Amino acid sequence: MADTRDIELTVNGESRSATVETRTSLGDFLRQALGLTGTHLGCEHGVCGACTVLVDGEAVRSCLMLAVQAKGREVTTVEGLSNPDGTLHPLQDAFWRNHGLQCGFCTPGMLTSLAAFLEENPDPSEREVREAISGNICRCTGYQGIVDAALDAAKTMREG
């Protein structure tokens, strides 16, 4: 019989509780148990960054964290980035305007990684943005649209 634990956590502002297998990753838990399929698993070994979510505000690879480790924590996924009224997060809007995505698979991880980064560094240089997403692989865009979007969003957020 699989080893399980009961956990409670907050996901996108909602309190959730579940019984999870101890070996289940946070990414699998979000996708399969909670149906939050916006978080994507690209490599499952912590390099590609597609599965990045925010745990207590920090960017975390949900493929490398177990669901049980999220007990009592606050998790934000791409579905929780936009405002409750449905308006887009400045990063989402900037990705749209700057053609910051093509296939869209790496996009949720890019958005969450950059959301955490811009909290810490609201006025980054292009070089800093490139370093910030150096743990997120995009095969489609060549990164330029993403970098432009991040700089654009930072400006929007600074200007409030």
Where does this chain bind other proteins (CB under 8 A)?
21, 23-24, 31, 35-45, 47-48, 50, 77-79, 81-82, 88, 92, 95-97, 99, 101-108, 111, 129-131, 133-134, 136-147
CB 117 within 8 A of CB 85: no
Of the pair 9, 81, the CB lying nearest other proteins is at 81
Least distance in Å: CB of 9 to other proteins?
18
Tokens coding 105: 């698979």
Least distance in Å: CB of 123 to other proteins?
18
Per-position DSSP letters for 120-138, written without gaps between them: H-SS--HHHHHHHTTTS--
CB 113 within 8 A of CB 149: no
Least distance in Å: CB of 52 to other proteins?
12
Tell me, what amino acid is at 8?
E
Of the pair 42, 70, the CB lying nearest other proteins is at 42
Q: Which residues of 19-33 are buried (b: 16+ CB within 10 A; e: fewer)?
A: ebeeebbbbbbbbee
Least distance in Å: CB of 14 to other proteins?
15
Of the pair 72, 121, the CB lying nearest other proteins is at 121
